Structure 1
Amino acid sequence: MIIRQPAAAHYGCSALHRVTWFVIAIPVLSVPLYSQLASTADALTTRPDLRKHGWLIVADSAQTSVQKFITKNSSRFGFADNDALEIIASHIDKNGWTHTKYLQHYKGIPIEGADVVFHADKSGNVQSVNGKFVIGLTATGATSVSVARARELALAYLTSDEYAWENESQEAMIKLSTGNAYATYYPTPTLVFTRNADTLAVEAKNLVLAYRVDIHSVTPSYAYRIYLDPTTGNELRRTSLRSGNCNPTTATVYTVYNGQQTIHTEEIPQSNPTRYRLYDPCRRIQTKYESNDVTNQGTTWYAALDGFTQAHWGAMRTYDYFQHGLGRPGGPLDTTKVMVQKLTSDIVGAMYSNGAIFSDDNSTSHCHDYMTNLDVVAHEWTHGFIENTLADLQNQGASEAKVLNEGFADIFGEMVECYVGSQSDQCGTWKAGGECTSLESNYPRNLKEPTASQGARTYCGLNWSGDVYAKSGVLARWFYLLTEGDTASNDHCCYPITQQNFIVVDGVGTTIASDICYAVLTNGYLTSASDFVDAGIATAYYTDLEYGTPALYSVINAWHAVGVYEGLGENACGTFDVYNSPAVAVSTRAYRTCIPPLGNGLWVKDNGHLTTTSGRYIHMRTGTRVDAGGYFHARIQQPCSTWVAKVGGTSVLESQLDSSLPLSHRTYPLSISIRPNPAHATAMLDIVTNRNVVVDIEVNNLVGSRAILQLGGVQVASGASAIPLDVTTLAAGLYLCLVRTPESISTCYFLVE
């Protein structure tokens, strides 16, 4: 193990410190974290089923400090000399837990998206770990192109009449927005391992060595991150970087959308007559027109400046929400200064970039007036907030992390509308940019029913083929359901727990719902390359820690209602089904196919064949019986992930979709269910298997942080068996039953009343 202390450490004013503390030599693991570890790693966790999703819920017996945890378990992880974890950030939450984020390096070169967060309680013991590692990198790290040459090539690929570092006002802006007197837009190529496309998984097979160069231009206006081959200098890909002592003078202003308001301004020294500019010295918010100050004579501002004063007031109120509504120390961007800058023809809509929020003033493009709506400003502000959290979700490209980033931005935009109360009439409309009368059919975005604005309401459902803004509707709708509650349905046909075509979500209110979103970002339960499955697990984990049931049940039901199941009851009671026919073919364009749609499972007889075509998932219901000669043939038209079907507990992968699968050669089918559900004093665990087997039974709380009931070495005979479980000592709530065999783990959720 290598531990390096920095020569000097800089500590900011908040609990988040973006500094390198030390480097720990650590193995390159699988992605997601622990997904391919040997079964011996199961001794570390009470939820081995979550390892494939990048989560390790640490068992009580394995809890220790972060460094001791890594050292003690090095043999399980297979440490390698070329691999290291570098601490890049740390955060202490309101409960005293420390969340420490590491970035994986290979031969000293950072790997984009390969970050992991250790969560330690107040005693310093690791309670959980989540993130993404990479295994199997064999690159030498050698380059033929120098840093200077990489810069020359990047500028040749991205030409400009005037680059940002050639513009004095732009250089002054980045120094002000970052609080760093040495900050500059001048590009510095950085050697990294990156994915061939940001939509690919963070895995060795998808990684290439590249120079990463950020280029910002004034004329024409653009900001790109370009990746270059370090041996040939060829461009690999590019992504846009655009998505956004206190003694103030109080002023009265008119805003475009929120009427007359009060703002903070600053007197311009030695101006005669006295003039004021849109700068709030308390919140460090400066509103400019291009690179020019927006000024006014006197403290009652001209109505003609309402677009600028709207933006300034919106930024002030957004700041207040993050600091006072959510308790963000030091403001939403910590010590970073924020500017809301109005541009003319180059910016369409609004965006966040390098600590500044930008908005256009083209009244015909998106809104009937300036696009400085309160929730639009809050949306772009949120991008800056996320950039300064442990999560630091990717904010460029088309990955699911970028989709989540946009979704959270819409969510907090809506929350700011509600935070200002009577000063806005948009709270509860669940529309992003609700005041806009857009010429485009997908804006304003409808967060309650995203399909109304051409967005997606279901993960891998209708409109999922749209852009990141369309896909972000899934997260927005999840938040709406979690907040207000509803009887919901999605584009899939059934649900893991209820086996019905609808699901009831009990609302938890805006306070709890927004705290859940805030916590998974600031505490690092999400990381830079997180996807929707990660978001589901992260929100459920935090909710169980902080609020318990029934809030936890609401979180899971809301995810199910938008089509996110994995890690949240994917193997819940009643997910294995069959058909009773010697030859059956089922074809549907639905994204989730249930066989049969409702009711009990049927029987695939000896020499029988079942061929199924679906859009993403195929679920086989309770009652499965497949004779030794029975075959299952799965064909997925539009898979969204590698896990696409399950039969008898066996996952059917993409590589196996076009081949018939003899079940008798692949698995020993075992299905479980709990009755009655909800249970009271005694619950019966029904187990159906095709052989005699010895099983271990556990009942855990939802995230599996501790075993509440345990039965070891239970003999189960071939056929159907019923095992009584005493639940009299269990508090009302949702529980997870695990049945382990030598080959598999079956899980089933049940409710105790």
Structure 2
Amino acid sequence: MSNVRRALIAVAVSAVALAGCDNAPTSVNHAADASAGAESDTVEVDASPGPEPEPAAAAPVRKLLDAHLPDVKAAPEDRFGYFAFKPDADGSKHVRYTRTYHGLPVFGGDIIVHTGPSGAYKGSSNGLLQPLKLDTVPKVSAQEALVQAKGAFLGTARQTQGQRLLVEASTGTGRLAWESVVVGTQQDGRTPSRLHVLTDAHSGTVIGKWDEIETVTGTGHGLYSGQVGIETQKFGNQYRLIDTTRGRASVCDMKHTDNGTCTQLSDADNTWGDGKADDPQSAAVDAAYGAQLTYDYYLKFFGRKGVANNGRGAVSRVHVGDRLENAYWDGKQMNYGDGRDNAHPFVELDVAAHEMTHGITQYSVPNDLTYAGESGGLNEATSDIFGTMVEFYANNPADPGDYDIAERLDLNGNGTPLRYMYNPSLDGYSHGCWSASTKDVDVHYSSGVANHFFFDLAEGTGTTQHGTSPVCGNARAVTGIGRDKAAAIWYRALDVYFTSSTSYVNDANPGNTARAYTLSAAADLYGQCAAEYQAVRRAWSAVNVAGPDAAC
């Protein structure tokens, strides 16, 4: 898939929501060695170094896949491509594969094969309900599909960027579809848009759409983080915001433009910013600090080395656009607008960690957690969850940890946060309890169900020090197991179980749900039917997400 933008705000609805991604590895390509004392001012991003080869240790799992093809609803025309290998310390293995049908990519056809410590087959994660069987000859031309895609674009379209024929199977059954990409700006006139539109290649009907929207220690004065240490690198008599301890993560300045050169910021005394918006370095300090803390959090708790887990740092672009009230991950880097009157940069710590986490999700799940419906809500919630976890991890008195999202940005103009994880419905838009309509709301609002689940799992229901969390309906109260355990369960579910089509509720395939996969993760980490496992069950029930769990 092409690069995906996950914007902080669902601007088509209101200025009250957050967003990230696709499958494009990220690296920073610097023109000269630091020892040479000079380097290009332009930040270049290599977006396609290609997937790593299938390791020899994954070969036994490939053989198990071949022996259990019915479990993943494989058709004779299916082929499976290696995506990622996740071994556990006890010898268990989890291998992700993508799927093609008659050579066409299958959107929603990704799978994970699991083995136990002995190497025995343990099962699979799969989104298909039955083997694919469809005519792969389109009755609708690519040009006709493009017309439909342009009609589905609600902002200002500027250009189209390619099409491909694929099998759309995110609902569990397959349809032949054209994927068309239309590029422009969203309805606010400022936020970039890269809209992917799926058009049924037999009927011509639009069946789906979604927007895409990493030494020397210096001292920085950020807008939100206060005075913090940031990693820099010296070039001649100048310092630049390049972090060689974290894969050469860097911060550059778009100077209120949407496209073109992103210029490296330079400073002579290695003291950056004054904590005010009119100093362009202040926002850069917060962006650098956010990338630094997010990298460290994932490394410390999960052993993950950057967005793509390859040790490369990510680029943070500040001062993007003119009065852009948004932040977004574009598939390879973080982008931060400066908000109202270019005086409110979107670089708060939980926002920075939110956007970088979209990259984590992109590189963890083939084709990403589909950015629409309930899987899109899970995508957004993952970024809210770990944005919050990084904020707690930072333990910065200038921006204490909490379960409010983007509370320092004052996007509503009345001092309230963007979202409330402990009671999502407080924002007037988000779903705090699952219902049949959850799949139909904007992904920033369907994320509320998972956000509410995570809060209940971590902190419990009722009155807590971080807010009062109600239960849905007549659900039982939940006693929290602590943030770190809750985050470990969510990350493992993302890393080794979620497929691109995972949702909250799926009556036809209940195994491909967040409830089922977080229970598997809890069982792996703490034991089947352990207290943590039971807490996961109760926390999902508390947000009205039921499931056919194994008896304990």
| Alignment partner, residue 515 of structure 2 | 536
What are the Cα deviations for residues 108-158 of structure 1, in whole angstroms up to 9, with x where unaligned? 112101121111123322112121125364433235889899899989998
* Whole-angstrom distance in 1 between the partners of 2:406 and 2:448: 14
1:263 Cα deviation from its structure 2 partner: 0.5
- Secondary structure of the residue aligned to 1:210 is strand
Mapped to 2, the partners of 1:77 and 1:389 lie a distance apart of 19
**Root mean square deviation of aligned Cα:** 3.8
In the superposition, relative to structure 1, how do residues 227 and 561 fare at CA in structure 2: closer, same or farther (>3 Å)?
A: closer
Structure 1 residues 237, 480: closer, same or farther in 2, change over 3 A? closer
Provide Cα deviations, 1:35-86, integer angstroms capped at 9, x if missing partner.
xxxxxxxxxxxxxxxxxxxxxxxxxxxxx95455455556898864323333
Report the alpha carbon displacement of residue 556 of structure 1 after superposing the two structures with TM. 0.6
What is the CA–CA distance in structure 1 between the aligned matches of 2:313 and 2:147, rounded to whole Å? 31
Q: Which residue in 2 is equivalent to 1:25?
A: none
From 102, 116, 122, the equivalent of 1:121 is 116
1:348 aligns with 2:325: yes
Distance 1:386 1:93, change over 3 A: farther
Q: C-alpha offsets along residues 304-334 of structure 1, whole Å, 9 cap, x if unaligned?
A: 2211211111111111111113321456653
- Confirm or deny: 8 A CA contact 2:176 2:201 kept in the other structure: no
Instruction: Name the residue aligned to 1:202.
Output: 172
In the alignment, what sits opposite 1:308? 284
The TM-score with structure 1 as length reference comes to 0.56
What is the CA-CA distance between 1:249 and the residue it aligns to?
2.3
Find the counterpart in structure 1 of residue 544 from structure 2. Answer: 563
* Contact 2:180–2:196 (Cα < 8 Å) also in 1: yes
Deviations 1:173-208 (A, max 9, x none): xxxxxxxxxxxxx9453321126xx7xx2213xx23
Amino acid at match of 1:285: A
Q: Which residue of 1 aligns with 2:82?
A: 87
In structure 2, relative to structure 1, the CA distance for the partners of 1:239 and 1:80 (3 Å cut) is closer
**Inter-partner Cα distance in structure 1 for 2:251 and 2:203:** 43
Matched, 1:102 2:65: no
Is the alpha carbon distance of 1:395 and 1:314 closer, same or farther for their aligned partners in structure 2, counting shifts above 3 Å?
farther
Aligned to 2:31: none
Partner of 2:418: 444
Which residue does the alignment assign to 1:254? 221
Which residue is equivalent to 1:18? 51
Aligned residue number for residue 360 of structure 1: 337
Structure 2: runs of 5+ lacking an equivalent? 1-24, 28-49, 255-261, 463-468, 506-512
The 1-side partners of 2:309 and 2:142 are apart by: 31
Following TM superposition, by how much is the alpha carbon of 1:566 offset from its aligned partner in structure 2, in angstroms?
A: 1.7
**What residue number does 1:281 align with?**
244
- Match among 451, 456, 460 for residue 431 of structure 2: 456
* Cα distance in 1, alignment partners of residues 332 and 442 from structure 2: 24
- The question of whether the paired residues in 2 share the 8 Å contact of 1:457 and 1:490 is answered with no
Q: 1:302 to 1:564 in 2, by over 3 A?
A: closer
CA contact (8 A) 1:114 1:134 kept: no
What letter is aligned with 2:172? V
- In structure 2, what is the Cα distance between the partners aligned to 1:517 and 1:75? 28
1:81-230 residue pairs with structure 2 within 5 A?
A: 81-133=76-128, 135=130, 137-143=132-138, 187-194=161-168, 201-204=171-174, 207-213=175-181, 215=183, 221-227=192-198
Q: Which has the larger radius of gyration?
A: 1
Answer whether contact 1:296 1:302 (CA < 8 A) is retained.
no
In the alignment, is the contact (CA less than 8 A) between 1:360 and 1:370 conserved in 2? yes
2:373 to 399, 419, 423: 399
Report 1 or 2 for greater relative contact order, CA contacts < 8 Å, sequence distance ≥ 6.
Answer: 2
Question: After superposition, what is the alpha-carbon deviation per residue over 1:207-244, rounded to whole angstroms, capped at 9, x for unaligned?
Answer: 233244475789984322234566899976543111xx
The 10-residue stretch of structure 1 (436-445 or 153-162) with the greater mean CA deviation from structure 2 = 153-162
CA distance in 2, matches of 1:338, 1:111: 29
Distance 1:440 1:111, change over 3 A: farther
Match for 1:345: what amino acid?
Answer: D
- 1:514 is aligned to 487
Q: For 2:69 and 2:456, locate their aligned partners in 1 and report how far apart those are by CA, in whole Å.
A: 43
Per-residue deviation, residues 640-670 of structure 1 (Å, max 9, x unmatched): xxxxxxxxxxxxxxxxxxxxxxxxxxxxxxx
Displacement of 1:439: 2.1
Aligned residue number for residue 30 of structure 2: none
Q: Which runs of 5+ in 1 are unaligned?
A: 1-9, 23-63, 164-185, 493-500, 569-701, 703-735, 737-748
CA distance in 1, matches of 2:354, 2:440: 23
Q: Give, in whole Å, the separation in 2 of the partners of 1:512 and 1:423.
A: 24
Greater strand share, structure number: 1
Letter in 2 for 1:457: G
Question: How do residues 318-357 of structure 1 correspond to structure 2 at under 5 angstroms?
Answer: 318-329=294-305, 333-342=309-318, 343-345=320-322, 347-357=324-334
Contact 2:471 2:477 (C-alpha < 8 Å) held by counterparts: no
CA displacement, residues 259-308 of structure 1 (integer Å, 9 cap, x when unaligned): 11111122345xxxx22222222222221222222222221123122112
2:493 partner SS:
helix
SS of the aligned residue for 2:408 comes to coil
Residue 553 in 1 paired to residue 528 in 2? no
Does 2:524 match 1:526? Answer: no
**Corresponding residue SS for 1:387:** helix
CA distance in 2: counterparts of 1:330 and 1:480, whole angstroms: 25
SS of residue matched to 1:91: strand
The letter of the residue matching 2:118 is S
Contact 2:370 2:376 in 1 (8 A): yes
Task: Name the structure 2 match of 1:637.
Answer: none
Q: Measure the CA separation in 2 of the matches of 1:211 and 1:96.
A: 40
Q: Which residue identity is paired with 1:373? A: E
The Cα shift of 1:100 comes to: 1.1
Partner of 2:270, secondary structure, is: coil
* C-alpha distance in structure 1 between counterparts of 2:541 and 2:420, whole Å: 20
Whether the aligned pair in 2 keeps the contact of 1:379 and 1:409 (CA below 8 Å) is yes
Give, as a single letter, the amino acid of the residue that structure 1 aligns with 2:100: H
Task: Tell me, yes or no, if the aligned pair for 2:71 and 2:124 is still in contact at 8 Å.
Answer: no
- Match of 2:433, SS? coil
Q: Distance in 2 between matches of 1:364 and 1:558?
A: 42
Partner of 2:245, secondary structure, is coil
Cα pair 2:307 2:313 within 8 Å, conserved: no
In 1, are the aligned partners of 2:79 and 2:101 still within 8 Å (CA)? yes
Whole-angstrom CA distance in 2 between matches of 1:77 and 1:286: 41
User: Is the Cα contact below 8 Å between 1:417 and 1:424 reproduced in 2?
Assistant: no
Tell me if the contact between 1:83 and 1:106 (Cα under 8 Å) persists in the aligned partners. yes
Name the CA distance, whole Å, in 2 between partners of 1:380 and 1:108.
Answer: 33
CA contact (8 A) 2:198 2:209 kept: yes
- What fraction of aligned residue pairs are identical, expressed as a percent? 23
Give per-residue Cα distances to partners, 1:344-395, cap 9 Å, x unaligned: 2374321111221111102369xx7211000000001110001111466435
After the TM superposition, which residues 680-699 of structure 1 pair with which residues of structure 2 at under 5 Å, given as runs?
none
Deviation at 1:520, TM superposition (A): 0.9
Instruction: Report the counterpart of residue 34 of structure 2 in structure 1.
Output: none
